[in-house]
Chains A and B, each alone.
Chain A
Amino acid sequence: MSADPLIHARGLVKRFGDFTAVDGIDVDVTRGEAFGFLGPNGAGKSSTMRMISCVSPPTGGVLSILGMDPRRDGPRIRARLGVCPQLDNLDIELTVRENLTTYARFFGIARAEARRRADELLRFVQLAERANSKVDPLSGGMKRRLTIARALVNEPEVVLLDEPTTGLDPQARHLVWERLFRLRQQGVTLVLTTHYMDEAEQLCDRLVVMDGGRIVAEGSPRALIERYSTREVVELRFTTDDQAAYADKLAGLGERLEVLPDRILLYVGDGDGAAAEVQRRALHPASVLVRRSSLEDVFLHLTGRTLVD
């Protein structure tokens, strides 16, 4: 691992008129790392990604990518980045292979080399047999894999993925994860945004949770769970419209208790022990679920349960 971070931001700010999208964040991403930006809609993840992609000049603060200044060296930095945008922008009139070869040309890659890379990448994302088909009839998962292949056509050192599996069905998501995992093993640095907690846990070595343009937590998925949640969570459902009525009776059980409209969550170290105690107190919940704490618990704890549209 090199000493200098590939991406280095200090007090990074992005404003659109009066609106502050990114409000002074510090980020360091080192070579070979898989780094995630987590947060609800409007947290500033995409604005941050666009600044890192060198298509959005920062309003303030320090940003250095691959040791260069995006304000000055945009094209030189972008030549070494791969970008997989949130919304597909493939060329629907072109074939699957042409999508890769034409994009490779933007990087000044020779035609023969572009064709060689296209075929190799199509094998990598398992689209080789669709090479000559048009893009339009491809499924959502195939299009996303093709977009990822296109982001790899310049053999980038850093791949930026903005919500790489949003809108995909479970099979398609797992295939994308598996391919990204493979990239990571090859030493490619991955930077991604997501609001899927399982995605962040699967892919990221380290992540930051963003809310309202700021970073509210940082660490590995495991470290964040240990710090902001408990080892286990007990979910209790009572046959009543008023779950809160049971909250008092559960007092003293676990470190924290959260009342939701349909269930009560007990944050505890020992889930089975807490479940047994609930039975001993003769509370008779309709269902008891003991599970390991997840990044989702951390996320909701830090960013709240209010719906952000």
Chain B
Amino acid sequence: MTAAPYVFEYHLINYRRTWRSSALSTFVLPLLTMLGFGVGVGAYVTGGVAGVPYLDWMVPGLIASTAVQTAMGESTWPVFSYFKWLRSYYAQVAAPLRVGDILGGHLAFVVFRTVVGGAAFLLIAAFFGTMHSWWALAALPVAALCGLAVATPTFAYAARIPSDSYLAILFRAGVLPMSLFSGVFFPVELLPGPLRAVAYALPLWHGVDLTRAATLGVPPDWSLTGHVAYLVLWAAGGAVLAARQFARRLVV
């Protein structure tokens, strides 16, 4: 019997207190993106990409990219703070919870937040007519998987670092380049060989390709099973590291 659902519930109650501030960015950001890229940039890219209008091609990439950024946002400062500033994890470990419950409950909440953000984006994007198929709904489980694939290693990282300045480094040196070179705004085939290899190694491109296949209703560029397996590998590897770091901090 696991107590992780109680931890998930705790994070939901915390979210209920703060969701208004995040709701604005959850809806406004996609809306601005649709207008800015669709109407602005889209007007220049007249030929479209892979036979579809540029906006329709780019939106699924942004949905995956937003999922990754939401998940990482929820896995960085909150995790660091629950160890260092608010010390909530220490309160939880004094209750009859195991380290796995604490970690699992928090990860479940991060996935929940990611899916909520992904659903909002999907809704607005559908309103602009960029969804080509009912397969678009598959973008939600893909967002969940993408979120988990980046959340677990980020939990491990946030539990390991001595100061929060390392979190800013992660975003500048990791997330920003990953968002630019993972096939969100232009096909990865346009990248020079070594950079393309980096894009394939990072989790985001796999999420982008899957989401794009879903919203356009076409097969992915790469194997479906391969994408899913690779993202699961990231999630599982990260979970092992995170569990180790959490135990190191909480049970000493």
With both chains docked as a complex, state the minimum distance between the C-beta of A221 and any C-beta of chain B, in angstroms. 28
Surface stretch bound by A, among B30-38, B65-73, B84-92, B157-165: B84-92
The verdict on B191 contacting chain A, using a C-beta distance below 8 Å, is no
The verdict on B22 contacting chain A, using a C-beta distance below 8 Å, is no
What 4 additional pairs, Cβ within 8 angstroms, besides A74-B96, A87-B87, A88-B87? A55-B251, A85-B87, A90-B91, A103-B91
With both chains docked as a complex, state the minimum distance between the C-beta of A138 and any C-beta of chain B, in angstroms. 15
Q: Which of B68-103 contact A (CB under 8 A)?
A: 86-88, 90-98
By secondary structure, the A interface counts as loop
Binding site for B on A (CB under 8 A): 16, 50, 53, 55-57, 74-76, 78-79, 81, 83, 85, 87-94, 98, 102-103, 105-108, 150, 154
Per the bound structure, the CA–CA distance linking A87 and B86 in Å amounts to 10
Binding site for A on B (CB under 8 A): 3, 6-7, 9-10, 13-14, 17-18, 86-88, 90-98, 250-252
Do the beta carbons of A91 and B14 come within 8 Å of each other? Answer: yes
26 contacts between A and B (CB under 8 A): A16-B252, A56-B252, A74-B96, A74-B98, A75-B96, A79-B96, A83-B94, A85-B90, A87-B87, A89-B86, A89-B87, A89-B91, A91-B14, A91-B88, A93-B18, A94-B14, A94-B17, A98-B13, A102-B9, A103-B91, A105-B9, A106-B3, A106-B6, A106-B10, A106-B97, A107-B95
Once A91-B14, A91-B88, A93-B17 are accepted as A-B contacts, the answer to whether A55 and B7 lie under 8 Å apart by CB is no
Per the bound structure, the CA–CA distance linking A16 and B87 in Å amounts to 21
Do the beta carbons of B251 and A56 come within 8 Å of each other? Answer: yes
- Chain B residues positioned under 8 Å from A92 (CB to CB): 86
Per the bound structure, the CA–CA distance linking A142 and B14 in Å amounts to 21
- Chain A residues positioned under 8 Å from B96 (CB to CB): 74-76, 78-79, 106-108
Do the beta carbons of B13 and A102 come within 8 Å of each other? Answer: yes
Q: Considering only CB atoms, which chain B residue lies closest to A153 in the complex?
A: B95
Per the bound structure, the CA–CA distance linking A105 and B91 in Å amounts to 13
Per the bound structure, the CA–CA distance linking A64 and B6 in Å amounts to 28
Do the beta carbons of B95 and A106 come within 8 Å of each other? Answer: yes
- Chain B residues positioned under 8 Å from A93 (CB to CB): 14, 17-18
- Chain B residues positioned under 8 Å from A50 (CB to CB): 252
Per the bound structure, the CA–CA distance linking A91 and B252 in Å amounts to 23
With both chains docked as a complex, state the minimum distance between the C-beta of B192 and any C-beta of chain A, in angstroms. 46
- Chain A residues positioned under 8 Å from B13 (CB to CB): 94, 98, 102
Do the beta carbons of A105 and B98 come within 8 Å of each other? Answer: no
- Chain A residues positioned under 8 Å from B252 (CB to CB): 16, 50, 55-56
Per a CB cutoff under 8 Å, which of B14, B86, B93 touches A55? B93
Per the bound structure, the CA–CA distance linking A147 and B18 in Å amounts to 22
Do the beta carbons of B14 and A105 come within 8 Å of each other? Answer: no
Per the bound structure, the CA–CA distance linking A78 and B97 in Å amounts to 8
Do the beta carbons of B90 and A105 come within 8 Å of each other? Answer: no
Per the bound structure, the CA–CA distance linking A53 and B91 in Å amounts to 11
Do the beta carbons of B90 and A89 come within 8 Å of each other? Answer: yes
Per the bound structure, the CA–CA distance linking A106 and B6 in Å amounts to 6
Per the bound structure, the CA–CA distance linking A74 and B92 in Å amounts to 13
- Chain A residues positioned under 8 Å from B17 (CB to CB): 93-94
